[in-house]
C-alpha cells in the first residue's frame, strides 16, 4: 500500500491526467463529517450537510471524466448504533439530496443504484430512493452505487445463504461454485471490482466495505475530511493511482 497519506495541499494540473488509464470503478468511504463539524464548533449534522456539497462535486467530476462506476459508502449496517437524532438527520438529508439532485443527475445521464438492505430504511427515504432508481434506470453514463444499510460481511453471508439454498434445492452441485458464480449472489452483481478505493479523514480502515470486491483494489488515503474533499482531491487520487504498477499477484 503506497502513499498512505497524500499531501492534501498538493496542486494538480489536470492536463497531466492520462485519460487512457482512468479507473473504471472508484469506491469512496465518505468519512470525517463529524470531526469536520467538531473542529468548527458545529453539531455533527452540520458536517453531514457540508458533506453533500463534496458529494455533488465528486459525482460531477466522475461523470465529466468518463468514470464508469462510483460506489459511495453512505450508511453502514453499524451506523444504526449512532445517536437516534443523528441517524434521523442522515435519513432526512438523503431524502433532501435525492429530491434536489435527481433531475440534474438524470439530465446528465447518471444512473442511480443501491447496494445493501434498503428495506430497513424509513419509508420516506425508501420512496425517494426507489423513485431515483426508477427515473435513472435506463441511463448509460456514470453508475452511482449508493451503499445504504450495507455491510461487507453481511453481503458475503447473504451470498453464502443464497448458494446453500440452491444446493439444498438440488439446483446446483458444490463443484459448480467458483468465484464467478459466487459474485452472482453479491449486491454488486454485474459491476466490476473497484480499481481505486478512496478514504479521506486520516483513518486507515476498510470499515466492512466491499470486503470481497476490493481484493486487488488500489487504496488512496488522505487527511482531508470529507466535506473538504473536492475535484482537486479526486484528481490527485487518480493521478497517484496512475503511477501504480498493478500486477494482481503476478509478475510483469
Catalytic residues: 31, 79
Written as nine digits, the cell of 91 is: 435519513
Three-state SS string over 60-105 comes to HHHHHHCCCEEEEEEEEHHHHHCCHHHHHHHHHHHHHHHHHHHHHH
Cα separations in angstroms, 28 against 16, 131, 238: 23, 23, 12
Beta bridge partners of 28: 72, 198
Residue with cell 454485474: 190
Query: Which three cell numbers, joined as nine digits, stand for 28?
Result: 469512496
- Whether residue 227 contacts residue 50, with contact meaning beta carbons closer than 8 Å, is answered with yes
User: What ranges in the chain are assigned the alpha helix state H?
Assistant: 33-39, 44-65, 84-107, 123-136, 152-168, 179-183, 231-241
Q: Is the Cβ–Cβ distance between 6 and 30 less than 8 Å?
A: no
219 phi/psi in degrees, rounded to 5: -115, 145
> Cell numbers of 241, please?
493511482
Amino acid at each position: 500500500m503506497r502513499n498512505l497519506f497524500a499531501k492534501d495541499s498538493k496542486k494538480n494540473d489536470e492536463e497531466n491526467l492520462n485519460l487512457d488509464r482512468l479507473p473504471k470503478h472508484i469506491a469512496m468511504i465518505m468519512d470525517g463529517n463529524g470531526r469536520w463539524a467538531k473542529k468548527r464548533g458545529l453539531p455533527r449534522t452540520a458536517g453531514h450537510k457540508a458533506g453533500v456539497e463534496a458529494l455533488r462535486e465528486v459525482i460531477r467530476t466522475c461523470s465529466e471524466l468518463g468514470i464508469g462506476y462510483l460506489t459511495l459508502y453512505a450508511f453502514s449496517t453499524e451506523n444504526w448504533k449512532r445517536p437516534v437524532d443523528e441517524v434521523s438527520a442522515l435519513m432526512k438529508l438523503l431524502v433532501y439530496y435525492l429530491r434536489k439532485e435527481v433531475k440534474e443527475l438524470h439530465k446528465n445521464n447518471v444512473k442511480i443504484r443501491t447496494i445493501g438492505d434498503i428495506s430497513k430504511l424509513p419509508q420516506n427515504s425508501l420512496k425517494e430512493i426507489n423513485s431515483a432508481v426508477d427515473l435513472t434506470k435506463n441511463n448509460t453514463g456514470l453508475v452511482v452505487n449508493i451503499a445504504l444499510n450495507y455491510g461487507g460481511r453481511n453481503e458475503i453471508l447473504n451470498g453464502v445463504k443464497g448458494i446453500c439454498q440452491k444446493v439444498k434445492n438440488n439446483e446446483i452441485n458444490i463443484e459448480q461454485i467458483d468465484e464467478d458464480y459466487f459474485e452472482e449472489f453479491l449486491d454488486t452483481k454485474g459491476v466490476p471490482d473497484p480499481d481505486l478505493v478512496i478514504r479521506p479523514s486520516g483513518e486507515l480502515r476498510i470499515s466492512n466495505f466491499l470486503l470481497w470486491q476490493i481484493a486487488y483494489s488500489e487504496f488512496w488515503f488522505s487527511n482531508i475530511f470529507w466535506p473538504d474533499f473536492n475535484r482537486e482531491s479526486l484528481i490527485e487520487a487518480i493521478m497517484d493511482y496512475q503511477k501504480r504498477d498493478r500486477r494482481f499477484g503476478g509478475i510483469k
